[in-house]
Structure 1
Amino acid sequence: MISLRQRILWAGLLGSAALASSGAFAQTPAPTTAAPAAAVAQADGAAPQRKAHAEHKRMDPAKRLERMQEHRAKRLAALKDKLKLNASQESAWSSYTSATQPPGPRPDGQRMTRADFAKLTTPQRIERMQARQAERSAMFAKRADATKSFYAALTPEQQKTFDAESMHFGGHRFHRGGHHGGPDAQPAKG
């Protein structure tokens, strides 16, 4: 997928080439190949990210889930190390990590395909979407309550650490590409 920046760059290069070939800039020497080479170099820099993303999408869902769980476990271990929890806070940590565990596969093992969803009437689709939204709201409320309870068990210094780390831990998806982060949003690292 070509990013917006690359599209703009290519559109500018093509527009410049069209103007140059039309004679509008006949007294100006032809542009060198440095600009297209720079565009290609910039595009190649994003290629490993695109390739990794494409491989992730094609990965077997079970393997992808396993990889995500491993990544989450590493992040939680790092957070726990930074918080330097004492023995009295361990039960609050256990409650927090179990309550914030992402949901696994659907219990019935069935996931509605796009084709099945397309067969539903509009009111049936709306009901399905409302039910799913209610499920997500309930999961969010459970996670929010668990986070607040854990946060209350922390010392003020630990709370500062948790505040700083939770911006990176849970908020990384909102900064990618500047979406939902406002004008000061920074792209996610990694």
Structure 2
Amino acid sequence: MTQHPKRLFLAGLLAATLGATAMAQTPPPAAPAAGEAPAQPAAGKQRPHMNPEQFRQRMAEHHAKRMNELKAKLQLTPPQENAWNTYTAAMQPPARDGHQRMDREAFGKLTTPERIDRMQAMQAERQTAMRQRGEATKAFYAQLTPEQQKTFDSETLRHGRHGKRGHGHPGGHGMKHG
């Protein structure tokens, strides 16, 4: 079995730094009462597709909600507020203006070396952003009491998973168990 240290490092760093902003698991549907048949979705019924702007709005609302919940659980003191504000500013989802995904048609017109260069530049941008979020998280964490650090650790780990198929889960990306 080949180890991928870069992937493992990035997955661990992602879980540690983005846990507070990752999407929370969707709660399971309520179990049917005894003797009651489980509800079946209507045939052919699909969730309506959101446009990118609606999706970004929904994710921004979810991010704000998660950050408010985390702040409440941490029970920050007034001297910690400045560190919290710096941390939350660093953890804001990036603006998509300069980071629009390249048009497939335009990408297809590039030569292979140009595509490689473009992908490496995008990866470098993501790594820089991840490093900045990591440093902001470490600086904020250092301002917390040991009890608050335990809460932060547990809350960011729990929400660092990407649903049931996230990193380290069967069917997800990441370490395979067994």
TM range (shorter): 0.5 to 0.7
Moved more, 123-132 or 171-180: 171-180
Map of 1:74 onto structure 2: 65
Shift in Å, 1:100: 1.1
Moved over 6 A (4+): none
Shift in Å, 1:170: 2.9
Shift in Å, 1:123: 0.3
Map of 2:177 onto structure 1: 183
Moved more, 175-184 or 121-130: 175-184
Relative to structure 1, the CA distance from residue 178 to residue 164 in structure 2 (aligned partners, 3 Å threshold; closer, same or farther) is: farther
* 3-state SS of paired residue (2:167): helix
TM-score normalised to the size of structure 2?
A: 0.68
Quick check: which one's helix share is greater?
A: 1
Percent of matched pairs sharing the same residue: 50
> What is the aligned-residue RMSD (CA, Å)?
2.7
Give the Cα separation in 2 of the matches to 1:182 and 1:90.
40
Relative to structure 1, the CA distance from residue 84 to residue 127 in structure 2 (aligned partners, 3 Å threshold; closer, same or farther) is: same
Map of 1:63 onto structure 2: 54
Answer yes or no: is 1:87 the counterpart of 2:81. no
Letter paired with 1:104? A
Aligned residues: 136
Answer yes or no: is 1:117 the counterpart of 2:111. no
1:1-190 correspondence runs (5 A): 51-52=46-47, 55=48, 58-107=49-98, 111-172=101-162, 173-174=166-167, 177-179=170-172, 180-183=174-177
Relative to structure 1, the CA distance from residue 178 to residue 160 in structure 2 (aligned partners, 3 Å threshold; closer, same or farther) is: farther
Letter paired with 1:130? Q
Letter paired with 2:133? R
Relative to structure 1, the CA distance from residue 62 to residue 120 in structure 2 (aligned partners, 3 Å threshold; closer, same or farther) is: same
Check the 8 A contact 2:170/2:176 in 1, yes or no.
no
TM-score normalised to the size of structure 1?
A: 0.64
Superimposed CA distance per residue, residues 62-119 of structure 1 (whole angstroms, 9 cap, x where no aligned partner): 1110110001111111100100000000011000010011111123x85421111011
Give the Cα separation in 2 of the matches to 1:135 and 1:110.
13
Superimposed CA distance per residue, residues 150-175 of structure 1 (whole angstroms, 9 cap, x where no aligned partner): 00000000000000000123333425
Relative to structure 1, the CA distance from residue 182 to residue 164 in structure 2 (aligned partners, 3 Å threshold; closer, same or farther) is: farther
Letter paired with 1:153? Q
Gaps of 5+ in 2: 1-36
Check the 8 A contact 1:75/1:169 in 2, yes or no.
no
Give the Cα separation in 2 of the matches to 1:97 and 1:81.
14
Letter paired with 2:83? A
Q: Which fold has the larger relative contact order, with Cα–Cα distance below 8 Å and residues 6 or more apart in sequence?
A: 2
